[in-house]
A and B are shown apart, each in its own frame.
Chain A
């Protein structure tokens, strides 16, 4: 059959099947199958890690917006009360002091500014998502780099002589350098329901340490 002639669906399916079998056999012969399978097994984990990132960034944005809305409402209250107090002082300064309006205003302001400070602290704390998501992103990037490295190695070893461009042949070194695994540490728990022997709260940490006598 002319290679330019579109194949029948059945024939195409058969050819894909043959190619798949050949690829499978080649991967096994070259010893790549297990390595690639290892990376493929990590892909669902990568998916849950990306979901974790989406959740954490979403929660951080929500938290910041909530706090900003509350702080702005308090800011408006401070401005309004200040205007009211200025008007009272202009109208009758002695009465404003004597009736306790000034003292009430100052006490009120101290409480409101304390609340505003709490909002600012919470907005600052919400930025911790950068650290947690950064660690998780690093692991997903490492997975992608490992996968790329293995595919490039496979390409090099299966290519005919002179068939691998220099840029591709050099790639594994760069990929390997970029994918230096930092450690065997687990990083943030992205899905507590699937993690074993992990704590999910500070109180569990405290209980564990207390059980050890610390």
Chain B
């Protein structure tokens, strides 16, 4: 059944944005928008309503860590769950993401089942 939650997918590669968007749609989340970096994402987040952010880390202009910090320091945005989906596999990056407020961390390449599981767990924790 389709869910009305609105996702923002942030990744500098349009291929990956389309993949995530399609996977979310298949998983029952058809409402989504896209941004190619943290700057565009932040602008969209501040000018439109979203319920969930799925973001890459390694991006130009503003990377995923910077975006996470901006979101978590913004009173109006800090409630948003941020799921990092990235090729960054260093343990220090994973720990830093968690300590800075990320709701989840997925390493690329990933599967549809992994994305579904992580999104489901985060929504369950938040009672959404």
Contact = CB atoms under 8 A, between A and B. Distances in A.
Is the pairing of A and B real?
yes
Interface of A: 121, 124-125, 127-132, 134-135, 182-183, 185-189, 195, 197-202, 205, 208-209, 212, 214
B98 A209 contact: yes
Contacts of A202: 106-107, 110, 114
A131 B94 contact: no
B99 to A, nearest CB: 8
Contact of A205 (B11, B15, B19, B107): B107
Most buried by A among B16, B59, B87, B89: B89
A131 B20 CA distance: 12
B57 A208 contact: no
Most buried by B among A124, A135, A198, A205: A205
Interface of B: 11, 13, 15-16, 19, 22-23, 26, 57-60, 63, 87-95, 98-99, 105-112, 114
Contacts of B13: 130-131, 134
B17 to A, nearest CB: 9
A118 to B, nearest CB: 9
B32 to A, nearest CB: 15
A198 B108 contact: no
Interface of B is mostly: mixed
The 8 A-B pairs at the shortest CB distance, nearest first, are namely: A188-B87, A131-B13, A130-B15, A131-B16, A198-B89, A214-B98, A185-B58, A189-B89
A127 B13 CA distance: 11
Contacts of B63: 182-183, 185
Nearest to B26: A121
Given A189-B87, A208-B94, 19 more contacts: A121-B26, A121-B112, A125-B109, A127-B19, A128-B16, A128-B109, A128-B110, A129-B109, A130-B15, A130-B16, A182-B63, A183-B63, A188-B87, A197-B91, A197-B92, A202-B114, A205-B106, A208-B95, A214-B98
